[in-house]
Amino acid sequence: MKLQSVSLLLSTLSIALSAPSPYRPKPKLVNKYPGLDVLAKRAGLLYFGTAIDNVVLNNSQYISIAHNKSEFGQVTPSNGQKWMYIEPQQGKFNYSMGDAITKPGREAGQMGRCHTFIWHNQLPEWLTAKNWTKPELVKVLENHIRHEARHYYDSCYAWDVVNEAFNDDGTLRETMWLNTIGKSYIELAFKFARKYTSPRTRLYYNDYGIERVNNKSIAVAEMVKYFLKRGVPIDGVGLQAHFTTGRSPSYNETSASIAQYNKLGVEVALTELDVRQALPDSHEQQQAQAKIYADSVKACVDAKDCVGVTVWDFWDPVSWVPETFPGYGDACLWSANFTKKPAYYAISDMLREYS
C-alpha cells in the first residue's frame, strides 16, 4: 500500500472515531411484576380494588400498598360511609371517616366505590330507637341520601345503594325499613340515589350468597327485572363474594350467576371478595384458597359485563373475618408480615394469561 493511501485511511478512521454515534433510544424498562390492577386492566376489567378501614390508617406500610395504584386502581371505605358514622345525630353529618379514604385515593389516581346508603346494620341509635311513621322514615331516608350523595358527588364510580335486603330463601329481610316503609323502600332508595348522585355514578344492589344461581340470586334478578320494566334506576349488582375454603362456588357457578344479571342488561362486580380459612392455616388450605381467588376473578374477567373486583381488605390483621367467624381467618392476599400469599400470585398468573 502506498504511503499516501495509508495516510488517507488513517485520516478517515480518525474522523469516524471522533464523530458522534448515531442516536439509539434506550430500551424501555419493562416491569416484570406489574400489580394486580395493571394486569386486570390488560385483561379487560375496569379496576382491581380494595376496601380500606379507618382502623389501620396509621400504618405507613399498609397505606403504601393500599394507595399503590398499580396494585389497586379503586378503593372502597369499608365502614366510613355507613349511616352510624355519616349521620351520628339526626341532621348532623360527619364525613371525616369516609374522606380519610376517598381523598388519598383521588390523590393517588384511584377510582372510588362508595358503600353504602342503606343497610340494616350499623345504624345510629337515634334512628333505631324511635317508632317512625312511614312518611317520617321516608323523609329521613331521602335526607340522608341527599346529603351523603352530594358530598361524594364526584368521588364514586358506583354506590352500593341498598345492601343485603334479601334472606337466603329469596324473601325480603325483616328490617326497620321493610317494617315501616314496606318493600317499596328499596325502590325509593334507588330513586333518591339517582336524584342526588352524579349522572355518571353507577347504582348497585349489593348482597352476599348470590354467587350461585339459587333462591336468593334469582329473587335479586327478579327485582332487577321489575325495576328495569318500571323505569327504576339500577345499573349493577354487586356479588360480595365472601367465600370459605372447601365450600365456595366454582368458576362455572359464579359465571352462571353473573350471566343471569348480564342478560338483564346490568353490569356486575365482585365487591367484597375474601376467602376465609379454618385456623390454623396450612399449605393445603393456602393452595385451595389460591384457586378460589383465581377462579372467582377469572369468572369476572370472562363475563360479558363484569367490570371489576374488590377484595374486602388485603391484609390479614385487619380482616373482618376472625371477629365475625371465630376459628376462621387468614382470608386476605397479604399475610401479617406483609408477605404476598399464594392467592396473590394465583390471581396474577391467571390475569397474565389475558395479556
Q: What pLDDT was estimated at residue 79?
A: 97
| Other beta carbons within 10 Å of 47 | 21
Q: What pLDDT was estimated at residue 18?
A: 40
Q: Where are the alpha helices (DSSP H) in the chain?
A: 3-18, 36-42, 60-66, 83-86, 96-107, 125-128, 134-151, 176-181, 184-196, 215-230, 251-262, 283-302, 321-324, 342-352
C-beta of residue 219 within 8 angstroms of C-beta of residue 185: no
Please give the model's pTM, rounded to 2 decimal places: 0.90
Q: How far is CA 300 from CA 37, 43, 295, in A?
A: 14, 10, 9
Integer Cα distance of 192 and 188 in angstroms: 6
Beta bridge partner(s), residue 206? 163, 238
Which residue's C-alpha cell is 400504618?
Answer: 59
Q: What is the DSSP string of 229-281?
A: HHT----EEEE--EEETTSPPPHHHHHHHHHHHHTTT-EEEEEEEEEEEESSP
Which residue's C-alpha cell is 353473573?
Answer: 258
Q: Among residues 236, 221, 215, which one has the least CA distance to residue 300?
A: 236
Q: What pLDDT was estimated at residue 33?
A: 78
Integer Cα distance of 268 and 3 in angstroms: 83
Q: Among residues 83, 101, 95, which one has the least CA distance to residue 137?
A: 83
Q: What pLDDT was estimated at residue 32?
A: 63
Please report the domains of the chain, with CATH numbers, ordered by start residue: 34-352 (3.20.20.80)
Integer Cα distance of 336 and 281 in angstroms: 13
Integer Cα distance of 236 and 226 in angstroms: 14
pLDDT by residue for the chain (355 residues), tens only, comes to: 433 433 433 344 343 334 444 434 444 444 567 999 999 999 999 999 999 999 999 999 999 999 999 999 999 999 999 999 999 999 999 999 999 999 999 999 999 999 999 999 999 999 999 999 999 999 999 999 999 999 999 999 999 999 999 999 999 999 999 999 999 999 999 999 999 999 999 999 999 999 999 999 999 999 999 999 999 999 999 999 999 999 999 999 999 999 999 999 999 999 999 999 999 999 999 999 999 999 999 999 999 999 999 999 999 999 999 999 999 999 999 999 999 999 999 999 999 999 8
Q: Please tell me whether residue 23 adopts helix, strand or coil conformation.
A: coil
Catalytic residue ranges:
164, 272
Q: Torsion angle of alpha carbons 58, 59, 65, 67, nearest 10°? A: 10
